[in-house]
Structure 1
């Protein structure tokens, strides 16, 4: 992926300054806490338990493993979660260009985050991807699908985070389990990105959020 070069220190400053004020709080059915933006989207809409985000050209969140470039421009609608939780949502993406995608984030800051992404990959397939960033991003394509929609589940138990996906919302597969120790309080977020395209719209629906630890490491179930 060709990314915009940014200085790491400027990334952190931009991240902090982009946090929305309390007056910008947004409510989504299924999420018991107010949400606010990191970076402003081109457009968005909330209708019940459905959230639509349109990201503009050049939007992405990625810290290249080789250390040559970093980008932190994707709009992310975030909320502060409970200590442990399970979050599930259906993601449908209006794929147009390579690397268009919709994602769920665990965000400490712009140098430490988990990105769970449904992306139009450079292999020409719709890919379920994941990346864990601790200064640099490890970047992994984990599964593919022919449909432009998929179900994601993000679950937390202590410092263990589980990432799961399902084609139809019934049968679940684990993408990865990761021990992630944030250096700052985390926020959970929904995002859309379009690094190379004109824009990209991602729709998150059937959003459910339940406080508590997950017990099943294969499905993320409680």
Structure 2
């Protein structure tokens, strides 16, 4: 698959993704349209793996904080937009704003080390929220926020290898639907360690 560079305001370098899916927006953000039956999930029950969700990735060595406001045009169950940490097809993690089977927008996180560990979190109103991923040495942390200022911790994890090179970025998915449009704006990147995981900052 050919990958194109996409300039997103606030990032330290151009991100790379499938140019058919990702489009830089005039306000400095980026949007994507995930096609039908797109997902990123290695089912722990042994069902078929899905690794075709559109991703837009860039390199971020060392400690960092990446956040964005995410708006999802929810249409079908599991439609989602989110942030992702990617090492390879067997080691990655995603923090998603996802449409639940009960037709509720929900924060969902998946950590994959061979197979995927899927965890549902809080239910939200509306189609917009803020997501953040931070790296702290060998560990990563996922947070969410309703205003982009005060943050709630969702989970802390590793991908199982302290020295594993990773990329970070954005994804969109529509596992059961006919496609899903996702927009990211207010993108912020800070190449520094988060001081306190649980302070709300």
* TM-score band w.r.t. shorter chain: over 0.9
Q: Distance in 1 between matches of 2:199 and 2:186?
A: 17
Task: Specify the alignment match of 2:90 in structure 1.
Answer: 111
Question: Could you tell me which of 70, 81, 90 is aligned with 1:102?
Answer: 81
Task: Specify the alignment match of 2:104 in structure 1.
Answer: 125
Task: Specify the alignment match of 2:173 in structure 1.
Answer: 193
- Compute the RMSD of aligned alpha carbons: 1.7
Question: Could you tell me which of 185, 204, 209 is aligned with 2:184?
Answer: 204
Q: CA deviation at 1:82?
A: 2.7
Q: Do the aligned partners of residues 49 and 123 (structure 1) sit closer, same or farther apart at CA in structure 2, a change above 3 Å counting?
A: same
4+ long deviations beyond 6 Å: none
Q: CA deviation at 1:168?
A: 1.6
Task: Specify the alignment match of 2:156 in structure 1.
Answer: 177
The alignment status of 1:88 with 2:63, answered yes or no, reads no
* TM-score calculated relative to the size of structure 2: 0.93
Q: Do the aligned partners of residues 209 and 42 (structure 1) sit closer, same or farther apart at CA in structure 2, a change above 3 Å counting?
A: closer
Contact 2:6–2:23 under 8 Å retained in 1: no
Listed one character per residue, the Cα deviations across residues 116-149 of structure 1 (whole Å, up to 9, x for unaligned) are: 1110011221110001001100001111101111
Task: Specify the alignment match of 1:77 in structure 2.
Answer: 56
Please list every run of 5 or more consecutive structure 2 residues that lacks an aligned counterpart in the other structure.
Answer: none
Q: CA deviation at 1:31?
A: 0.2
1:47 counterpart SS class = coil
Number of paired residues?
Answer: 200
Q: Distance in 1 between matches of 2:47 and 2:176?
A: 18
More helix by share: 1
Mean Cα deviation higher: 75-84 or 171-180:
171-180
Task: Specify the alignment match of 1:150 in structure 2.
Answer: 129
* TM-score calculated relative to the size of structure 1: 0.84
The alignment status of 1:26 with 2:6, answered yes or no, reads yes
Contact 2:66–2:188 under 8 Å retained in 1: yes
Q: CA deviation at 1:197?
A: 1.4
Please list every run of 5 or more consecutive structure 1 residues that lacks an aligned counterpart in the other structure.
Answer: 1-17
